[in-house]
Amino acid sequence: MNCAGQKLYKHKHLFSLMVATCFFNFACAGTSLSVQSSENTGVRESSCSLPISPSNMLSLVIYYKETMGYLTNAEDACRFAFAEILKKEVESSFFMMEGCAKVTLQDIDDALHHPEKLNERLNYLKAG
């Protein structure tokens, strides 16, 4: 390959890498969600900034600990609404095998109700 061909190959490779990076970052970006919760003082609307897009199972796999941390520590209205959406996506995903989906659903439940159990398995909570 001559010098011009090598430069063209390098540029194509660099361009492909940049496109893949942009696509990956876009696909893994979180979304926002508006939820309403009823409190003693009435209905309150919250804007939730989700750690991942619930429909993107690849981002769930990559950002698993961060997602479980969100389900444990976010405002109740946000974490429970996000958990419901995420559970539906995990249950209907063709990407996850049955055993993996079962463990993920258990982790979601533990993040909501038994974070100490989940932290023993994942060590996802940061020491304070």
Output the pLDDT for position 36: 66
Domain containing 89: what range?
31-122
Task: Give the per-residue pLDDT at 125.
Answer: 78
- Sequence length of the chain is 128
Pair (2, 39) in one structural domain: no
* pLDDT of res. 28: 47
In terms of domains, do 11 and 39 share one?
Answer: no
pLDDT in tens, the chain (128 residues): 555 445 545 556 545 545 454 444 444 445 888 776 656 666 667 799 999 999 999 999 999 999 999 999 999 999 999 999 999 999 999 888 999 999 999 999 999 999 999 999 888 876 54
Q: Residue 82 corresponds to which amino acid?
A: F
Q: What is the pLDDT of residue 27?
A: 47
Is 113 inside a domain boundary?
yes
Residue 31 pLDDT: 83
10 with 36, same domain: the answer is: no
pTM (2 d.p.): 0.70
pLDDT for the residue 32: 80
User: According to the model, what pLDDT value does residue 54 have?
Assistant: 92
On whether residue 127 sits in a domain, the answer given is no
- The pLDDT of residue 22 is 47
